[in-house]
Amino acid sequence: MAAPFDDRDGFIWMDGKLVPWRSAQAHVLTHALHYGSSVFEGVRVYGGQIFKLREHTLRLIKSAEWLGFTIPFTADQIDQACRDTVKAQNIVDGYLRPVAWRGSEMMGVAAQQSKIHLAVAAWEWPSYFSPEARAKGINMIISPWKRPAPDTAPVHAKAAGLYMICTLAKHQAEAQGAHDALMHDYRGFLAEATGANLFLIMDGKLHTPKPDCFLNGITRLTVMDLARARGIEVIERHIKPDELAQAQEVFLTGTAAEITPVGRIGELSYTPGRLTMQLSDDYMAATRQAVVAA
Active site (annotated) includes residue 158: yes
| From 136, 158, 170, 240, the catalytic residue | 158
Residue 7 beta carbon to ligand PMP: minimum distance, rounded to whole angstroms: 25
**Residue 254 or 263: which CB sits closer to ligand PMP?**
254
Q: What angle do CA 86, 98, 8 make, to 5 degrees?
A: 60
Which of 139, 253 has the CB closer to ligand PMP?
A: 253
Q: How far is the CB of 17 from ligand PMP (least distance, A)?
A: 27
Q: Which 3 state secondary structure label does DSSP give 254?
A: strand
Q: What whole-number distance in Å separates Cα of residue 148 and Cα of residue 235?
A: 23
Q: Are the C-beta atoms of residues 249 and 275 closer than 8 Å to each other?
A: yes
Q: Given the complex with ligand PMP, which of 247 and 252 has the nearer CB atom? A: 252
Query: Which residue type occupies 33?
Result: L
Closest among 175, 203, 181 to 252, alpha carbons compared? 181
Beta carbon of residue 63, minimum distance to ligand PMP (angstroms, whole number): 11
Distance (Å) of CA 197 to CA 65, 88, 183, 258, 265: 23, 31, 10, 10, 14
**42 versus 103: smaller Cβ distance to ligand PMP:** 42
Helices (H), the chain: 31-35, 53-66, 75-89, 131-136, 163-175, 218-229, 274-293
81 vs 162, beta carbon nearer ligand PMP: 162
Dihedral of the alpha carbons of 54, 118, 8, 87, in degrees to the nearest 10:
40
Report yes or no: 287 and 49 within 8 Å, Cβ to Cβ: no
- Chain residues binding ligand PMP by CB under 6 A are 42, 166, 192, 195-197, 215, 217-220, 253-255
Q: What is the nearest approach in angstroms of ligand PMP to the Cβ of residue 104?
A: 26
Cα–Cα distances (Å) from 111 to 108, 153, 159, in that order, read 7, 18, 17
Query: Which lies closer to ligand PMP via its Cβ, residue 21 or residue 56?
Result: 56
**Closest CB to ligand PMP: residue number:** 217
Looking only at Cα atoms, what is the longest distance across the chain?
56
207 touches 219 (CB < 8 A): no
Contact 265/244 with Cβ under 8 angstroms? Answer: yes
- Residues with active-site annotation: 158
